[in-house]
Amino acid sequence: MDDSILTPRDFASHPAYIEPGYRSSVKRGPLRPLIPLKERLRDQHVPVYGAEDLGALDHDLTRNAVVNGAPLGERIIVTGHVLDENARPVRNTLVEIWQANATGRYVHKSDQHDAPLDPNFLGAGRCLTDNEGRYRFLTIKPGAYPWGNHPNAWRPNHIHFSLFGDYFGSRLVTQMYFPGDPLLAFDPIYQGTPADARERLISRFSLDITEEGFALGYEFDIVLRGRNDTPMER
């Protein structure tokens, strides 16, 4: 196989652009056919993100915004591999995350949820994958929050992920959920993902990753393209 050519994305694994149950997708989903990118643009390499652009604590959300103490909530470790369509590690690639705090509140002016902000928690981090394609974040487990999409609507606990991989064509924005969350059954964003691909959005609890007396561990592998690719966020 020519490594410079990406295989087509498996759109059957991704949610539709317009999902009636997810109200904002109706407003922003495209109504006209997409315009295919030219091959040389689709396969173009992204800019290189060097380690010198990262802060020492960018991967540690429990310390990268501390003002006067540790953030409140359950500490967790989130780690996994970033893989390409052939299950090979994607090395030295930027992984960015953002999330709500333990009470389900984002540090953003548009979030007016009646829950407290944590002065010691920003809810954003980034890191580079290593030579095995592995990333690792230390953070606080995000809380659920109401979002007004439908009566008594609550978003499940989740963390947003953003990656470019090696190509613009492997761009991915997705959400990671937690195992056993009862809100998944009622969430139109999660339910809008095809049923046979939903499990790829749920992290796995790992006692091996868990650090005794400190933080629970979750594993979430990300596949950027191909038959087993991680579904996109809509």
Q: Which residues are catalytic?
A: 106, 145, 155, 158, 160
Contact between residue 75 and residue 140 where contact means Cβ atoms under 8 Å apart = yes
- Tokens for 215, please give them: 């933080």
